[in-house]
Structure 1
Amino acid sequence: MPSIAVTTAERPPAPTTALIDRVSVAVLVDGAPAAPVVRELPDGVKALDVSAPEGAAVEIRLATPLQDAVGYWYPDAGWQRSLPPDWAGRMNAGLVHGCAIGCLYETSGQTLLTFAAEDATVDTHLVFGVSEQRKLFTVHVELTAGREPFTVLFAGRSPSPAAALRPLRRRLVGAAKLPPLALPEVGRTPAYSTWYAFGQEVTADGVALEAGRAAALGCGLLILDDGWQRGGRERGYAWAGDWQVDTGKFPDLAGHVRDVQGLGMAYMAWIAPLLLGPDSPE
């Protein structure tokens, strides 16, 4: 079996190019150095375009001196804001997991590296963290080349991560060619979610009883959370993917919804269409 690099320092060297601020970039296609195309965009944003034959292994390496770095934000960071070592920082990105985005910042909040993949649906694997041997913060973006070039957007130094990410967000929305979703009026009203009272043990009668109480308290929306679907008594979601009504809990779901709506409440049901488990018969 081929050896797997534990740290970014163990990867074969590749020629680097200055990209933005003190950030350098190296691009490899099937292990060989490749020349990316860098474009200047409005708002101080730069675009890095990587073209490769479809199916080729692409690796984009980013690096910047540690300087006064204290934190690194990325979509899966949760409450973790410290600097991981490069043998620990890992993230999968794509349609299910979220976009390949990252922001390194220093004590004052000033950013040192801010990037975002323009196409949020491409499956990518990110390896990132502090290279103790090289005294750098590194990010390696790995993917399989598709038919179109893969583009990564970069923002220059900004006073805060929010300020740096703002122009990238505008670019991502524009690239998706989707207008922002309008907020329905019911989205501004108090809501009742069944999860906090029932967990997965929801039933039509139990939800209807709670809906009456919630409506009397001024709630305008009922959210039927996890558990309404067949298989919805099992955590782990190995069964997920069919999204058929559990008729033992909801013998007449449509009728139940009409009854709740008759109380003056809007009705919303939780569903995770991209969640597909290995035990799904479909």
Structure 2
Amino acid sequence: MKAIQALLFFTLLIILNNVRAENVQQEFSINGQKFQIQSLKSDFSFSTSDVRMENGIYYATIHQSLNDKHEKAIPTTFSVKWQTPSHDIAGVWNPIFNNDHIIPADWSSKALDSMLTRNAPVYTLFGHDDVNRYTVAVSDAVNLVHLSAKVREEDSMIYHELEFLSEKHKAVNTYSVKIRIDMRSVPFYQSLSDVASWWASMPEFKPTHVPNDATDPMYSTWYSYHQVIDHEELLAEAKIAASLGYKAIIVDDGWQTKDSNRGYAYTGDWEPERLNNIEKFVDDIHQLGMKALLWYSIPFVGEKAKVAEQFKGKYLSHSESLETYVLDPRYPEVRKYLIDHYVHAIKDWKWDGLKLDFIDQFKTNKDTVLEKRDGRDFASVYEAVDKLMSDLITELTEINPDVMVEFRQRYIGPAMRKYGNMFRATDIPNGAVTNRRRIVDLRLLSGDTAVHSDMLMWHYEEPVEIAALQLLNIFHSVPQLSVRLAELPKSHLNMVTHYTQYWSENKDVLLNGSFKPKGIFANYPLISSEKGQKQIIALYDDVIANISEHDVNQTDILNAKKSTSVIVKFENDWQKVQLIVQDCEGNVVSKTIKRLQSSLLDVEVPASGLLSIVKM
């Protein structure tokens, strides 16, 4: 019996493979590289246009169209497949925040799922030298797209597949998607930055304005206070933060409910139960010269919220563990309810920005009816989210053109840059190294959208040089601090003061300079940024810091590690230098002038200290 079942199973596989082969709709090639478009038979036909190779980058646009231009139908799922030899491929980078960079085998189910509310449709195959070998990106950042690059054991070839419209789509006459493949031998960060620019050049993904306030250090209440927040306590803490150079406070979860349990059972009414004099609180913060941002979980209506019954039948799902329902944005009354609350916060309460959380929970499941009926004015959940967020940012910027909107890592694709001007590394409490890695991955695709660290916290009995690693690991992002400043030991406060001031003085170099992270598999042990005559290098491991910029006359090296040896290699005409060494509290340890006898220099720098090298 088992033998018969096995025979039937393999017969079915053969039949399915033959069906797939029979349903190849189109073959096209770019510069000799062959691509196959595969789909099930339907009333739609496939065509390609704008197929070209330009400066080492392949382009092609794929169209799926109904023969009768006056009709509409649900487009069919289709995939684009091709294969390339695995030549100097060390790993694969994609925007999944916990990606391990390992290229999966072709029998693996591992793939990148991209949609408006999660990830971005791009991956990079990189070499053993962090150089781009093959970067694939597509223009559809709204609908669900599966992207994969897998290695086959039998031939060491990389098998690429892009699958479109696997989730039921609304009826259309045509669907088009652009594919971009970068084969240039350039650093991986340049290839990904160019993808971000490609997306941003599309009118449908034009990024929103980034106010300067979004690039200033901020204080967050989450790790320091969690849900137990109080007007006077926060105000006292904000005064200290302001004196240290923090320009805004983000009031997180807890302001809207007196319930301090984890979960979101009482979320959704958005009445300020803890900050019950909320307008005065905002005014008090403004009196300190600080901005104020307020947290909301966009999709959630808790089980015990007063409005839970009001939206019955208008939820996408229910989370038992979080004790909340997830609203369905395809209902216009749902979108209006949400937008009205956020407009109220900005217009009436005078908040300067919003932290909008959990957008990735706007997602479909097997029971979602993807049809425009029963009060829904959209069939697609993602198109409804786009409508919600587009309308929201339009209304908010009419009230305050410099309004700030923060999103958390995962919902960080090109479409999200239309509505958010701050992207934050996803939660990693007390996780310096992972925070650094997530920040780098965010920056690679974010263009000029402000990239923020996850909130910084540490144990107050840590040695100060170890506590400093939390701050130094996020130096190429905007700091978000979340410790109780009034309770910090004096040495810790000195460290925060010193490095916050240094970061602020060098913000332009760190955020707007040429961003060069090195060592993908090693969690980026060296990150360099240069602008004008200044170079800043952060060392996170015992690697050599190269000074190769001819226009640079000062290089600062952050010794963001426990070892004290900093080895510098000079590759230009530096002959005589001044060396200034500081510890993590800003105390000058040594100041010397040295004539270079070789291209290598070994300097003793305290753990978490700073070495400044000035050309004489």
Bin for the TM-score computed over the shorter chain: 0.7 to 0.9
CA distance in 1, matches of 2:82, 2:262: 39
Deviations 1:41-60 (A, max 9, x none): 75543322222244211112
Aligned to 2:325: 280
Match of 1:266 among 272, 291, 302: 291
Aligned to 2:255: 228
Report the AA paired with residue 111 of structure 1.
N
Q: What secondary structure sits across from 1:114 in the alignment? A: strand
With CA pairs under 8 Å and 6+ residues apart, which has the higher RCO, 1 or 2? Answer: 1
Aligned to 2:64: 52
Q: What secondary structure sits across from 1:148 in the alignment? A: strand
The answer to whether the 8 A contact 1:28-1:58 is kept is: yes
TM-score, normalization: structure 1? 0.79
Aligned to 1:6: none
Q: How does 1:1-282 map to 2 (within 5 A)?
A: 12=20, 17-19=28-30, 24-30=34-40, 36-40=48-52, 43-53=55-65, 54-78=74-98, 80-86=100-106, 87-144=108-165, 147-177=174-204, 179-229=206-256, 233=260, 235=262, 242=268, 244-271=269-296, 273=298, 278=318, 279-280=324-325, 282=327
The answer to whether the 8 A contact 2:103-2:149 is kept is: no
CA distance in 1, matches of 2:326, 2:115: 25
Structure 2 unmatched ranges of 5 or more: 1-8, 10-15, 66-73, 301-315, 319-323, 328-616
CA distance in 2, matches of 1:34, 1:213: 62
Distance change >3 Å, CA 26–CA 226, structure 1 → 2? farther
Deviations 1:183-236 (A, max 9, x none): 423234332111231234334343223212222333211112334345985656
Two-structure CA RMSD over aligned residues (Å): 3.4
TM-score, normalization: structure 2? 0.39
The answer to whether the 8 A contact 1:75-1:98 is kept is: yes
Report the AA paired with residue 209 of structure 1.
A
Q: What secondary structure sits across from 1:89 in the alignment? A: coil
1:93 CA drift (Å): 0.5
Distance change >3 Å, CA 203–CA 136, structure 1 → 2? farther
Higher mean alpha-carbon deviation, 12-21 vs 77-86, is at 12-21
Higher mean alpha-carbon deviation, 167-176 vs 177-186, is at 177-186
CA distance in 2, matches of 1:154, 1:232: 51
Aligned to 1:7: none
Q: What secondary structure sits across from 2:137 in the alignment? A: strand
Q: What secondary structure sits across from 1:149 in the alignment? A: strand
CA distance in 1, matches of 2:126, 2:298: 35
1:178 CA drift (Å): 5.4
Structure with more of its chain in helix, by fraction: 2
Q: What secondary structure sits across from 1:51 in the alignment? A: strand
Distance change >3 Å, CA 140–CA 79, structure 1 → 2? closer
Report the AA paired with residue 280 of structure 1.
Y
CA distance in 1, matches of 2:36, 2:265: 40
CA distance in 2, matches of 1:277, 1:238: 14
CA distance in 2, matches of 1:139, 1:231: 51
1:71 CA drift (Å): 1.0
The percent identity for this pair of structures is: 20
Aligned residue pairs, count = 271
Deviations 1:104-149 (A, max 9, x none): 1221333332111113112212344222244222232222166431
